[in-house]
Chain A
Amino acid sequence: MSEIINMSNELSTNAAEVLPRFDRRKFLALGGTSAAFLLGTAGVAKAYIMLNGATPRSQAPVGLDPATGRELTAEAWPADRIYTYALAGTDGWASLPSSDALGLSLGAKSVDPYFPDPLADAANKNLYVFSFTNVTGLDRTQVAARKGHSQFCAPIIYSTVGDELWITLTNLGLQMRPDLVDGHTLHWHGFRNAIPFYDGVPESSISVTIDHDFTYVYRPHDSGTYMYHCHFEDVEHVTMGMQGIVFVKPDPADRVNLGSGLYTQKAYGVADGDLLGESVYDREFSILLGEIDTRAHFNDAHVQATDWSDFHADFWTMNGRSYPDTLQPNGVRDANGQLLVQADGGIDGAGNSVLTTNSDPSADASRLLSNPLSSVVQAEVGERILIRLVNLGFQNHTIQFPGLEVDVLGRDARFVPDSAQRTKTDSVQIGPGESRDVFFKAPLVAGTYPFYNRGLSQYAGSDDGSNNWVGGQRSEIRVYDNLSSQLKPNGWAGEQPWAGEFPVVAKHAGLGISVRANRTTGNNGGRFISGTITTDTQAYLANIWYVQATKDSPLSAAPLAGHASWNQVPFSGNGPYAFNVQVASSGRNSSNKHYYWVLAQDSAGVYSTPISVQI
């Protein structure tokens, strides 16, 4: 008990300490218009303050190490790069598309007696679940009130290379099952060089008991798409809903400044192997694939045991929803932590999604309030779209994108280089526990493009047999001629993040300028870097810049272009442009490889992402 009291005391002091801290870097990531909007709107800025400050955890290490009796000290981390989240583990009810709620042609038929569960709290909900509920920014009383209120699946979390992420997990216990004293843990699946303390396997580490909490700390060094889930009685807690997506963005130094406060967004950095800036995108979406055996959910609600080796899914989900619910908008959370649904009002003249919050959680229209994540992918014609796919079900799936050419540039949080003989495809295989980063260019014709699980038997089907997609993994890409910026991952156009959801990301103006270089020929008499420069605007090109790095520190951050140490080779022409530039090679001998940083600059002064070549 002393643990909780200590935490509460810490909260009051730390909130004051952190309150003024407004992350400048994340602020700069916003588009120019968005930034202006933020500056002038106290309500949105408050989101950041809540996010960074008022989480139920201590900013500084507390207590003594029970092993040594010494005070704990941590490696100093820049305070403005520490981000906090808070999750609560609890149970509750969620919704699958039943014919009771949606009618015979859009809802699945009952699975007697398992689905809809007769114990459900209201006609609108039908599935007993466990969940990680986002309680970031809530106070202790508000957090405690979330017991029995689920969020299915778990919230999307992200971090950035160089950031430190503190995630506090509170175990609220199970409202429906006071007989169970299950712990909960947070397992960041795929986190490199994890220590057991933060790996969340209860047998080889610690787990959080009911009414207590624990803060997991991560310093991600590697960009990519990961997942997180509870590892306590893993098969049960995962399939019951304690599963979510976590991804890591590359070091902000990897972004390209497009001027006017605009930056490109990239999924992988130079340090991850994306030397050519191929992982840039305009909008990003995250889709978690899951499977539901309604018998198991029923058994947990009705104090029955399940033979997990007899698992047979009868619903398949994207972000905790089954088609056609996948097409509904994201939910929001109010100041008390109550999840609310939004209604889809189409796209207005400025390209913004019109979303109306239904503030009555008991209304029929609030059926999906416990399933707050949409799977709709929006795009403006010709935009580059990233979909982060994660599979935390138990089956191997293939997601098909008919009519699109898809690049899989990330597999299991590793960038796939061009040298690995990539091929374009329209279907993406993903096994249980795997992740894929899928990139494509949105079609040039506005319209609706479905994507779905090609395992065509993996759909429940509608009650009347008229719609065989019901109850499965199907959603759609909606392409518009004019769409405003995406302001948060998985967000619809213009949709703001809600307090405590996560930081905001920016839309950039286009792909900008990029350079690729080959290893060169030549020797002491003359070394050349050759390659091509492309732009998506066909602008005239102005300069190739390069700088020689030492042999021992090729991976240090690229110096700023325009600095005195950079060499400038001017030329002009239309992109794409092939170049072959002789470079200075001081201090070299014939056996000594050196590294060069190379970037291109267009006539508007915009620089490409620097790339590193070895010659």
Chain B
Amino acid sequence: MKLTSKRSPMVLVLALFCIALATLVPISPKTNAAFAAESEGMLCTNGTIVGGYRTFNLVATDGYTSEPDGNSIYDWSYGVMGNGFQLPGPILCANTGEVIDITLTNQLPVATSIQLPGFTNVTYNDGISSGAVGPVFDATGAMISLVPQAAPGSSITYRFKANNAGTYVYQSGTDPQLQVQMGLFGAIVVRPAGISVTADDVLNIPYYDGTASQLTNADAGMSAGEAATLASNAKCAYPSINNPAKCDPLAIYDGAVDGENILILSEIDPAIHTFMEQAFTAGDLASLNWNSYPIGYEAHYFMINGRSMPDTLAPNNAPWMPWQPYGAMAHVQPWDVHVNALDALLRYINVGNAAYDFHPHSNHEHVIAQDGALMKGSTAGVVNDNTEEKFNILINPGGSVDATFRWTNEESYDDVNGFRVPVAQPNGPNLNQGSYWSGSPYLGSEGLLNPGVLTKSQCGEYYHVAHNHDLTQVTNYGITFGGMMTLIKVEPPAALQTRMNLKCN
């Protein structure tokens, strides 16, 4: 329970008030998300198949999240029915061709909804009326919601078909200026159904090392047997433009549990959240909308998956952040055409108000898709390839970007069998050493550290930061090395771990 913050008295007041308000609004008890096992990589909520439809039962509810500086923030968000509040909303995973039902039960004191940008022919049923989703107007003709909404205490179901693979946002379509800021957002990931990656597919993945070669893994020396082994672990993000039964070669990624990652980027102006908390506490329902907020907007917290650095590094379901279940640290091992030739996949979503420019250290990422569409076109069978390798990933507000990442030990730096770095590491007292530094320039090796330096190295792994390059947003209320930042963990290959007798967890 992370209620030891400076806001905890307010929480108690709020809890008492919630009881008083119970006759007005059926607020569920704030159960912690079930303490599921900790894990790495993208954590899917798969829903259930009911009557042939992939069905998700969500609630819109309120709760508290913590910031690394100790602040506690009052939020509204979506959660899985029965598990209560979480930020962001659950990552809903589905397959192409499926019809999806999302039932939203509103436990907030204001009407809310789910808008599904990128999906077409969405219908709704709220038990009173049904039909195609569209804007909702009040009696005076003023628009009150972009999509049909659920009144406090009631439910609504949205139904749509997942036609195209990709990464999508879902968010409130009701007073979105306020409600999305308050946390009513989440992600939908649609995977292509019926595509299996074969050894031949893996052999034909373009081999790129930063040059514009037309080589494939086969040209780079991958054997058929190696390809078969890799194929058994490969997944597909997007089908080929010209042959939908096959995977696009750039969209094949490492299907290992932490080979697929999601980064939902958001920001918080804590004054708005405090304002809404106080309005709610005072029972001032009329003030729970954007127009009542009297001050100019200025964000001070910047998050990935609802967490700020360094909380972004903790695993999924870290028990000390019960309402922020998603970590954001990508794990990779050095690219190797024989044993590790599948890239990691990173799915970015921006639910903020302006573009974020996200900078992964240590290598370019290959941007393959934007807003749920592979960046390739085909005219008379000739493919126009608009994918690009970027060292900064620009994600527009409300948009998504999918990118692949690999890291290669290009200079074969290795203190046993390979090449040494050309300069000596100066001795300790002449250096500051960071706590994510192993003490050695070499992967899979550790070195002496200055007294008082506590390294987080487990096995001589490399840590590279990945962060928004608006550096004012890589802060927690202005304090450096926080905010919208995470780490990429480059682990030594298994053989190196064995040789050095250093095990990565």
Cα A299 to Cα B361 with chains together (Å): 30
In the complex, what's the smallest C-beta–C-beta distance from A126 to chain B, in angstroms? Answer: 23
Known: A201-B465, A217-B423, A432-B469. A195 touches B211 (CB 8 A): no
Indicate if A202 sits at the interface (CB-CB under 8 A): yes
Cα A420 to Cα B471 with chains together (Å): 31
Which residues of A sit under 8 angstroms from B388, Cβ to Cβ? 411-412, 414, 416, 420
Which residues of A sit under 8 angstroms from B480, Cβ to Cβ? 233-236, 308
**Those of B411-450 within 8 Å (CB) of chain A:** 411-413, 415, 419-428, 430-437, 439-443, 445-448
In the complex, what's the smallest C-beta–C-beta distance from A47 to chain B, in angstroms? Answer: 25
A193-219 vs B, CB cutoff 8 Å, 1 = contact: the mask equals 111111101111111110010110101
In the complex, what's the smallest C-beta–C-beta distance from B419 to chain A, in angstroms? Answer: 4
Indicate if A73 sits at the interface (CB-CB under 8 A): yes
Indicate if B258 sits at the interface (CB-CB under 8 A): no
Cross-chain contact B437 with A204 (CB below 8 angstroms): yes
Which residues of B sit under 8 angstroms from A179, Cβ to Cβ? none
Query: Contact partner of A204 among B384, B391, B465, CB < 8 A?
Result: B465
Known: A204-B465, A234-B474. A194 touches B362 (CB 8 A): yes
Which residues of B sit under 8 angstroms from A162, Cβ to Cβ? none
Indicate if A552 sits at the interface (CB-CB under 8 A): yes
Among A61-69, A134-142, A442-450, A573-581, which stretch is in contact with chain B?
A: A61-69
Cα A62 to Cα B430 with chains together (Å): 15
Indicate if B472 sits at the interface (CB-CB under 8 A): yes
Cross-chain contact B420 with A412 (CB below 8 angstroms): no
Which residues of B sit under 8 angstroms from A273, Cβ to Cβ? 211-212
Cross-chain contact B210 with A202 (CB below 8 angstroms): no
Which residues of A sit under 8 angstroms from B355, Cβ to Cβ? 396, 431
Max chain A Cβ within 10 angstroms of own Cβ: one of B354, B386, B411, B426: B426
Cross-chain contact A203 with B481 (CB below 8 angstroms): yes
Cross-chain contact B394 with A3 (CB below 8 angstroms): no
Cross-chain contact A58 with B437 (CB below 8 angstroms): no
B482-505 vs A, CB cutoff 8 Å, 1 = contact: the mask equals 010001000000000000000000
Cross-chain contact B386 with A66 (CB below 8 angstroms): no
Known: A3-B426, A204-B463. A309 touches B410 (CB 8 A): no
Query: Contact partner of B471 among A199, A394, A411, A417, CB < 8 A?
Result: A394
Query: Contact partner of A209 among B209, B219, B431, B463, CB < 8 A?
Result: B431
Interface residues on A, range: 35 or more
Indicate if B223 sits at the interface (CB-CB under 8 A): no
Cross-chain contact B430 with A66 (CB below 8 angstroms): no
Which residues of A sit under 8 angstroms from B420, Cβ to Cβ? 61, 65, 72-75
Known: A203-B435, A311-B472. A614 touches B464 (CB 8 A): no
Query: Contact partner of B472 among A272, A309, A411, A433, CB < 8 A?
Result: A309
Cross-chain contact B210 with A222 (CB below 8 angstroms): yes
Look across to chain A and name the residue whose beta carbon is closest to the beta carbon of B408. A193
Cross-chain contact B441 with A195 (CB below 8 angstroms): yes
Which residues of A sit under 8 angstroms from B357, Cβ to Cβ? 396, 431-434
* B contact face: mostly helix, strand, loop, or mixed: loop
Cross-chain contact A202 with B415 (CB below 8 angstroms): no
Which residues of B sit under 8 angstroms from A271, Cβ to Cβ? 211-213
Which residues of B sit under 8 angstroms from A197, Cβ to Cβ? 421, 425, 441
Cross-chain contact A193 with B385 (CB below 8 angstroms): no
Indicate if A419 sits at the interface (CB-CB under 8 A): yes
Look across to chain A and name the residue whose beta carbon is closest to the beta carbon of B386. A420
Known: A192-B210, A192-B410, A271-B211. A204 touches B434 (CB 8 A): yes
A267-302 vs B, CB cutoff 8 Å, 1 = contact: the mask equals 000011101000000000000000000000000000
Known: A205-B437, A235-B474, A411-B390. A433 touches B469 (CB 8 A): yes
Cα A3 to Cα B426 with chains together (Å): 7
Cross-chain contact B471 with A239 (CB below 8 angstroms): yes
Query: Contact partner of A202 among B426, B427, B434, CB < 8 A?
Result: B434
Cα A62 to Cα B464 with chains together (Å): 27
Which residues of B sit under 8 angstroms from A275, Cβ to Cβ? 212
Indicate if A361 sits at the interface (CB-CB under 8 A): no
Indicate if A465 sits at the interface (CB-CB under 8 A): no
Cross-chain contact A75 with B411 (CB below 8 angstroms): yes
Indicate if B478 sits at the interface (CB-CB under 8 A): yes
Indicate if A546 sits at the interface (CB-CB under 8 A): no
Which residues of A sit under 8 angstroms from B212, Cβ to Cβ? 271-273, 275, 415, 417
Which residues of A sit under 8 angstroms from B442, Cβ to Cβ? 67
Which residues of B sit under 8 angstroms from A67, Cβ to Cβ? 415, 439-440, 442, 445-448
Indicate if B389 sits at the interface (CB-CB under 8 A): yes
Query: Contact partner of B431 among A62, A201, A212, A272, CB < 8 A?
Result: A212
Cross-chain contact B408 with A199 (CB below 8 angstroms): no
Which residues of A sit under 8 angstroms from B470, Cβ to Cβ? 394-395, 432
Indicate if B404 sits at the interface (CB-CB under 8 A): no
Which residues of A sit under 8 angstroms from B300, Cβ to Cβ? 307, 309-310
Cross-chain contact B210 with A72 (CB below 8 angstroms): no
Cross-chain contact B424 with A62 (CB below 8 angstroms): yes
Cross-chain contact B421 with A3 (CB below 8 angstroms): no
Cα A199 to Cα B361 with chains together (Å): 8
Which residues of B sit under 8 angstroms from A208, Cβ to Cβ? 431-432
Cα A64 to Cα B357 with chains together (Å): 40
A357-398 vs B, CB cutoff 8 Å, 1 = contact: the mask equals 000000000000000000000000000000000000011100
Cα A396 to Cα B357 with chains together (Å): 9
Indicate if A70 sits at the interface (CB-CB under 8 A): yes
Indicate if A79 sits at the interface (CB-CB under 8 A): no
Cross-chain contact B407 with A193 (CB below 8 angstroms): yes
Which residues of A sit under 8 angstroms from B462, Cβ to Cβ? 195-196, 204
Which residues of B sit under 8 angstroms from A22, Cβ to Cβ? none
Indicate if A474 sits at the interface (CB-CB under 8 A): no
Cross-chain contact B211 with A272 (CB below 8 angstroms): yes
Cross-chain contact A202 with B432 (CB below 8 angstroms): yes
Indicate if A9 sits at the interface (CB-CB under 8 A): no
Which residues of A sit under 8 angstroms from B472, Cβ to Cβ? 235, 308-309, 311, 394
Which residues of A sit under 8 angstroms from B219, Cβ to Cβ? 551-552
Indicate if A110 sits at the interface (CB-CB under 8 A): no
Which residues of B sit under 8 angstroms from A206, Cβ to Cβ? 425, 431-434, 437
Cα A189 to Cα B391 with chains together (Å): 8
Cα A208 to Cα B431 with chains together (Å): 5
Which residues of B sit under 8 angstroms from A552, Cβ to Cβ? 219
Cross-chain contact A433 with B359 (CB below 8 angstroms): yes
Max chain A Cβ within 10 angstroms of own Cβ: one of B209, B302, B423, B481: B423
Cα A412 to Cα B338 with chains together (Å): 29
Nearest first, the 5 A-B pairs at minimum CB distance are: A273-B212, A433-B469, A67-B447, A63-B424, A197-B441
Report 28 cross-chain contacts, Cβ distance below 8 Å, ordered by A residue: A61-B423, A65-B440, A66-B427, A67-B442, A68-B415, A68-B445, A72-B423, A193-B410, A193-B411, A194-B363, A196-B462, A197-B421, A203-B436, A212-B426, A214-B431, A221-B210, A221-B211, A233-B481, A273-B211, A275-B212, A308-B478, A309-B298, A310-B298, A396-B355, A411-B388, A412-B392, A431-B392, A431-B394
B residues lining the A interface (CB < 8 Å): 209-215, 219, 298-302, 354-355, 357, 359, 361-364, 377, 384-386, 388-392, 394, 407-413, 415, 419-428, 430-437, 439-443, 445-448, 462-465, 469-475, 477-481, 483, 487
Knowing that A77-B422, A217-B422, A238-B471 touch, tell me 19 more A-B residue pairs with CB under 8 angstroms. Answer: A66-B439, A203-B436, A206-B425, A206-B437, A208-B431, A221-B209, A221-B410, A233-B481, A234-B471, A236-B480, A275-B212, A309-B473, A309-B475, A417-B212, A417-B385, A431-B357, A432-B471, A433-B359, A614-B214
